[in-house]
Amino acid sequence: MTTSERLINLKKTLPQHVSLVAVSKTKPINQIQEVYDAGQRIFGENKIQEMVEKHTLLPKDISWHMIGHVQRNKVKYIAHFVNLIHAVDSFKLLQEINKQALKNNRIINCLLQIKIASEEAKFGMMQEEAISLLASEEFKLLKNIKIIGLMGMATFTSDKEIIEYEFKSLKNFFDSLKTKYSNFNTLSMGMSGDYKIAIVHGSTMIRVGSALFGARNY
């Protein structure tokens, strides 16, 4: 199957309220262009430099999502075009995004990454940290960012029950914040291996790489 055939098949299975981020990290321009030509407009990258290069070379109506961990000193390179930053995990990072957004006269949409996996290596805030960030006076002063929801990554495991438990807990947390914060409309959870489970448990945005583009060779 070609990449665009895989895209079309995947999109057929998605409910209307779920949007697809095509994770194009490590993939060449021509393969991304093929997926673009098949109708896909949202692409996700996890490295700043790679996203900047691809943004320069590809059509300008692509919505670029930064899905990886962001270093504060690199926000300036993407602030003029990024559409959504998925993995905000500290107030300091949010402050820097706000500063760079202001310089570019933009409002940048962000998601707070919540740690749901038991693995040590995964980034993300604890729920309590997210609650106090959203309630803080300092946060209310940031006028050039908008937090529109949450992102989470489940444990890398074949045990479906663990993944379900983690997605359910993120969905519950999302719902509880949504009652308070009217901008909340996006729950980014689910990748190639677990997006079906994520959708069952309330995901509104899935980030799919290898199931679309094929395996990555690093």
Binding mask 8-47 for ligand PLP (x = CB under 6 A): ---------------x-x--------------------x-
| Binding pattern for the stretch 118-157 against ligand PLP, x by CB under 6 A and - elsewhere | -----------------------------------x----
Q: Please spell the DSSP secondary structure of 65-116, one letter per residue.
A: EE-S---GGGHHHHTTT--EEEEE--HHHHHHHHHHHHHTT--EEEEEEB--
Residue 154 Cβ, how far from ligand PLP at the closest point, in Å?
11
Among 7, 67, 97, 114, binds ligand PLP (CB under 6 A): 67
Crossing angle for the helix pair 29-37 and 3-13, nearest 10 degrees? 50
And the tokens for 150?
């949450």
Q: In whole angstroms, how close is the CB of 110 to ligand PLP at the nearest point?
A: 14
Whether the CB-CB separation of 2 and 12 falls below 8 Å is answered with no
Of 8 and 211, the one with the shorter C-beta distance to ligand PLP is 211
**In angstroms, what is the minimal distance from the CB of 178 to ligand PLP?**
22
Query: Which positions from 152 through 211 interact with ligand PLP, judged by CB under 6 A?
Result: 153, 191-193, 207-211
Instruction: Quote the tokens at residue 178.
Output: 């949504």
Q: How many CA atoms lie within 13 A of 40 on its CB side?
A: 33
Start-to-end C-alpha separation, the chain: 22
Beta-bridge partners for 80: none
CA distance 21 to 45: 9
Q: How far apart are CA 170 and CA 53, in angstroms?
A: 33
The reply on whether position 68 binds ligand PLP by CB under 6 A is: yes
Binding residues for ligand PLP, how many (CB under 6 A)? 14
Q: Is 23 or 84 the residue whose CB approaches ligand PLP more closely?
A: 23
Q: How far is the CB of 67 from ligand PLP (least distance, A)?
A: 4
User: Which residue, 64 or 142, is less far from ligand PLP as judged by CB?
Assistant: 64
List of residues contacting ligand PLP (CB under 6 A):
23, 25, 46, 67-68, 153, 191-193, 207-211
